[in-house]
Amino acid sequence: MAALLEVRGLTTSFATESGTLTAVDGVDLELAPGRTLGLVGESGCGKSVTALSIMGLVSSPPGRIAGGEVIFEGTDLLKLGAAAMRDIRGDRISMIFQEPMTSLNPAFTIGDQIVEGILRHRPIGHEEAKHQAIEMLRHVRMPLPERRFDEHPHKLSGGMRQRAMIAMALALKPRLLIADEPTTALDVTIQAQILELMRVLRDETGAAIILITHDLGVVAELAQDVAVMYAGRIVERAPVDALFSEPQHPYTIGLLGSIPRLHREVERLPAIEGQVPNPMTPPPGCRFAPRCPFATEKCRREEPPLREIAPAHWARCWYAPIP
């Protein structure tokens, strides 16, 4: 199937007092319609900046898309003007955030905000838009949708705000939804509700999803494909089963080992020692080499390319596939 989204060589940098910081460095991604891609990595790996770059939401200055292409439904979004991008955003592509209050305006009711979004993109009357908004609130399992329509965000619990934001994002049936840590701020029982909701909506709407998270549990629950980022680069990309059972990049292997598991007892967690390199001065070779127990001289000298080592399984390691 033709890709819905193709990202090639995306590079985003920020000007800082002490020089240029390249947060996203040559990222390639591909997403077919209706698929869910988990984009995982730790703080500062560039996963959120990748999403903001796709959405055209990197503030410039200090940010700058230094290179690459973001081809969505055949159009390179990076070449579109601000007005054309605003037409796509909220309609064909929309986004939900970790903290619902970043996208909900505290001064307006939930209903007004959803209606405003619909009217911005559709030539319909206010009554019809209101009807669609209430349907959408019902769709995200908001309790008492008619009443919530007239309520302000602060009257809602965290879980309900998350539902309201999802309703707003999905109101125009986007083909691509970017969800940036959608359950991270929620308690575990509420997280289970939202994950369940996202699973149902994914199957019902057929929207493709980029799910950005640091939580490999959330990825395993929802994603079909996974891309792992480290220090601005994609280090591994694979279907979800292969990534969890046959990971090929040492960073992925270490990351999977360092999560404490409910169903497994270990004396010591295999932690990845050391810390993420300073993005101002990435190491010369493989960016993970300083923390990698398998690193050799070659790794410290030359950076490996992202290679396809099995069908649909890509790894950025000289020694992949690792036996």
Partner 1 sequence: MTLLRVESLVKHFPVRSGFLGRRAHVHAVDDVSFDLAGGETLALVGESGCGKSTTGRLVLRLIEPTAGTVHFGGRNLGELDGRELRAARRDLQIIFQDPYGSLNPRMTVGQMLDEPLMLHGVEPARRRERVAEVLRVVGLAPEHAQRYPHQFSGGQRQRIGIARAIVVEPKLVVCDEPVSALDVSIQAQVVNLLRDLQKRLGLAYLFIAHDLAVVKHIADRVAVMYLGRIVEIGTKRAVFGEPRHPYTHALLSAIPIPDPRARRDPLVLGGDVPSPVDPPSGCRFRTRCPHAQALCAKEVPPLEIADGHGVACHFWKEIAPPARIASHVGADPNERLARLQAAFVAK
Q: What residue ranges bind partner 1 (CB under 8 A)?
A: 42-43, 143, 157-160, 187-193, 195-196, 214-221, 240-241, 244-247, 250, 253-264, 266, 268-273, 275-276, 293-294, 322-323
For residue 139, what are its two tokens? 């769709």
Whole-angstrom distance, CA of residue 270 vs CA of residue 290: 16
Name the minimum Å distance from CB 134 to partner 1: 21
Q: Which is nearer to partner 1, 83 or 188 (CB)?
A: 188
Q: Which is nearer to partner 1, 154 or 263 (CB)?
A: 263
Q: DSSP character for 89? A: B
Q: Which is nearer to partner 1, 84 or 269 (CB)?
A: 269
Q: Which is nearer to partner 1, 103 or 224 (CB)?
A: 224
Name the minimum Å distance from CB 300 to partner 1: 15
Name the minimum Å distance from CB 51 to partner 1: 18
Q: Which is nearer to partner 1, 25 or 221 (CB)?
A: 221
Single-letter residue type at 165: M
Q: Integer distance in angstroms from the first to the last C-alpha of the chain?
A: 32
Name the minimum Å distance from CB 61 to partner 1: 24
Whole-angstrom distance, CA of residue 200 vs CA of residue 205: 9
Whole-angstrom distance, CA of residue 3 vs CA of residue 235: 21
Return the C-alpha torsion angle 101, 104, 110, 112, nearest 10: 160
Whole-angstrom distance, CA of residue 186 vs CA of residue 161: 11
Name the minimum Å distance from CB 210 to partner 1: 17
Single-letter residue type at 206: G
